[in-house]
Amino acid sequence: MRRVATLCGLILMLAFRVSAQIQPANSLFLGSKFPALAATIPPSGPEAFAAALPEPSPAPPAPQAVYGVAPSFNFEVYGGFAFFHFYELPGITGSLDGFNVGISYYPKAGHLGIDGEFEAAFAPQNGVSTTLDAGMGGVKYRLLNHRGDALWVHGLVGGAHFVPLTPYGGESALSFEAGGGLDVSPKNGRLSYRIQADVLGTYFFGTYQYSPKIAVGVVYKF
């Protein structure tokens, strides 16, 4: 009888030990007594998926643009319409319409440049078609703003030709021109619109002529 009781006691003790060993293993999932081991179990669910995604890299900064700086050009080519009031002789004047073209070069795109211009104007006079043309070269000085607009002055010297031949003298003469103008660049680009006012001086028929000229046209820069 004593042996039976001892055997039952050993069985109960063995069962208790097995139960104690199984219970801590289940506590890993219940989060009871082993936080260090529980932390090694990877989380699951939407939160775990979001945490596994890589963090988005910050957007690169926007490039810093520079505004208000006009591009630099060395050459300007001009073409437009011109109006002259020609003081031919004392008491004899005439109005002539025509065109003028020109080219300017600014070394290193600076303020001071070289200027060349050709102009021709036409008008009937006493039933005869008259022509006044002149070709000249000289210097030009400009002031630019941030939009590319230019305020400028120039001085030119060259020769002029007047047709028809008159009894007062020859058809060719010395000429000079002085004046200035404004170039407006609406889009800060290669094209500008010009208005200019000059005085054309000539020496026809043994006397000087000082003829005002107004011109408008288009400038292309490159």
Mean pLDDT computed over 5-13: 59
Q: What is the pLDDT of residues 95-146, one digit of tens each?
A: 999 999 999 999 999 999 999 999 999 998 777 889 999 999 999 999 999 8
pLDDT score of 89 more than 50: yes
Q: What is the pLDDT of residues 170-210, one digit of tens each?
A: 789 999 999 999 999 988 789 999 999 999 999 998 889 99
Mean pLDDT for the chain overall:
81
Q: What is the pLDDT of residues 146-164, one digit of tens each?
A: 888 999 999 999 999 998 8
- Domain 75-221 indexed as CATH 2.40.30.10: no
Q: Per-residue confidence at 7, pLDDT binned at 50, 70, 90?
A: low
Q: Do 177 and 155 touch, CB atoms closer than 8 A?
A: yes
pTM, entire model: 0.66
Please tell me the distance from the alpha carbon of residue 191 to that of residue 55, in angstroms, as a whole number.
50
Beta bridge mates, 143:
151
Q: Do 10 and 2 touch, CB atoms closer than 8 A?
A: no
Report pLDDT for 187.
Answer: 82
* Residue 99 or residue 25, greater confidence: 99
**Domain edges within the chain:** 2-52, 75-221
Give buried/exposed letters for 157-184 (b at 16+ CB in 10 A, else e). Answer: ebebbbeeebeeeeeebebbbebebebe
State the Cα torsion 137-143-149-153 to the nearest 10°.
Answer: -30
Mean pLDDT computed over 75-94: 92
Angle at 124 between CA 122 and CA 130, to 5 degrees: 50
